[in-house]
């Protein structure tokens, strides 16, 4: 990795990669409290000023209840007590099954995607050979803006083109947070909380969710900076499977941590998945030189940077720091390290049987059109 490619990365290495809980979720807590307040108002519960009244005897209270009964009125109900989430690990069974199933489907889908991409490239090659060379030499008429966009897109690396879709999805979700009528849906499905009714899909959707513009911009900046290196290492198909799986796995680690400590609360952000990308690159290229953009004179190796980040998140998890979701960061980093050392061999290099099954299915018969190996 070149110094210019990763020097900018460390600008937000601690302040941006991390999965924000306090700042972003402070607004989410406000929204949740607002929903609770509106529900209480609709139910008729209203807080009024306390009046100092003499205590009533048992006979007087019975007489008042009898009068209310004769008038057909019911006594005022007691105010509802706030629900305290139970520390139950049984609620984590569904998220665990979802995490395993989604990870398997992600890598299986990536293997099939790679097969189809290679097949499409071969077909496109033969189509180009058959095409009339005069048509290929004919100048294309393009408008000024369209030509500039096309030149910009062609100037991007494969990794930058791959993460452009991820950045666009994050920007769309960020805009949805600004729509008042969508607030309930956003809080329910785009924040991850082990005490919520929705447990599984928020594990994925919260990875694309940012409430703060700075939070989103910083995370996407780091992802953009590492995109070329990670895609060159893995290819776009394997990278997408790793990124999506990392978002779900890091959220599940956060679920386990919150349930074990009894500290329930919503989280959101792509930091867990980005930590996997960062850890994978640093593990694969530990001697790469990194630097902070504002302090380019100070350089350090990627391996040392990864050790410092893991140590800091481990300390935050043990000491119970609550400004960041340290469990999600640590889970994402450990998953990235594990995948480079063991996971690539165990998962990606054993995809051939699945690809052969897909090839046989596509060709409608075993042995027709090749053996499907890649």
Q: Which residues are catalytic, by number?
A: 271, 329
Q: Where are the alpha helices (DSSP H) in the chain?
A: 3-7, 22-43, 58-70, 93-130, 133-137, 144-155, 158-176, 183-189, 201-205, 213-234, 236-261, 271-284, 302-319, 326-338, 344-346, 352-363
Q: Are 250 and 275 in contact (CB under 8 A)?
A: yes
Q: 90: which DSSP letter?
A: G
CA dihedral over 186, 187, 191, 196, signed as positive or negative: negative
Buried b (16+ CB within 10 A) or exposed e, 44-83: eeeeeeeeeeeeeeeeeeeeeeeeeeeeeeeeeeeeeeee
* Mode of pairing for the β-strands spanning 295-301 and 289-292: antiparallel
Buried b (16+ CB within 10 A) or exposed e, 291-317: bbeeeeeeeeebeebbeebbebbbebb
Q: 212: which DSSP letter?
A: S
Backbone angles phi, psi at 301, to 5 degrees: -80, 155
CA dihedral over 222, 223, 225, 229, signed as positive or negative: positive
Q: How many CA atoms lie within 13 A of 319 on its CB side?
A: 9
CA distance 167 to 152: 16
Q: 83: which DSSP letter?
A: P
The maximal CA–CA distance of the chain, rounded, in angstroms, is 105
């Amino acid at each position: 990795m070149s110094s210019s490619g990763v020097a900018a990365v460390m600008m937000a290495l601690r302040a941006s990669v991390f999965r924000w809980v306090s700042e972003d979720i402070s607004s989410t807590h406000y929204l949740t409290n607002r929903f609770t307040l509106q529900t209480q108002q609709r139910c008729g519960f209203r807080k009024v000023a306390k009046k100092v009244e003499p205590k009533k005897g048992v006979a007087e209270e019975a007489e008042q209840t009898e009068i209310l009964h004769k008038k057909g009125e019911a006594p005022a109900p007691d105010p509802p007590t706030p629900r305290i989430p139970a520390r139950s690990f049984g609620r984590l069974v569904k998220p665990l099954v979802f995490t395993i199933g989604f990870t398997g489907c992600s890598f299986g889908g990536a293997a099939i995607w790679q097969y189809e991409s290679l097949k499409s490239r071969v077909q496109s090659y033969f189509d180009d050979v058959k095409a009339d060379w005069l048509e290929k030499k004919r100048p294309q008429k393009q408008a000024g803006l369209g030509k500039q966009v096309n030149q910009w897109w062609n100037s991007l690396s494969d990794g930058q083109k791959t993460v452009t879709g991820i950045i666009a999805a994050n920007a769309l979700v960020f805009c949805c947070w600004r729509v008042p009528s969508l607030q309930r849906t956003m809080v329910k499905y785009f924040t991850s909380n082990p005490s919520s009714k929705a447990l599984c899909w928020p594990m994925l959707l919260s990875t694309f969710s940012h409430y703060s513009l700075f939070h989103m911009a910083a995370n996407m900046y780091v992802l953009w900076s590492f995109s070329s290196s990670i895609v060159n290492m893995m290819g776009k198909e394997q990278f997408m499977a790793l990124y999506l799986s990392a978002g779900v796995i890091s959220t599940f680690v956060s679920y386990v941590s919150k349930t074990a400590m009894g500290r329930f609360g919503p989280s959101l952000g792509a930091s867990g998945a980005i930590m996997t990308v960062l850890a994978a690159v640093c593990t694969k290229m530990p001697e790469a030189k990194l630097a902070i953009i504002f302090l380019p004179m100070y350089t350090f190796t990627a391996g040392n940077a990864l050790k410092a980040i893991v140590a800091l998140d481990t300390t935050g998890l043990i000491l119970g720091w609550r400004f960041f979701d340290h469990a999600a960061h640590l889970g994402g980093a450990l998953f990235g390290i594990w995948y480079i050392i063991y996971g690539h061999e165990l998962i990606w290099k054993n995809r051939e049987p699945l690809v052969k099954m897909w090839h046989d299915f596509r060709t409608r018969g075993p042995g027709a059109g090749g053996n499907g190996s890649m």
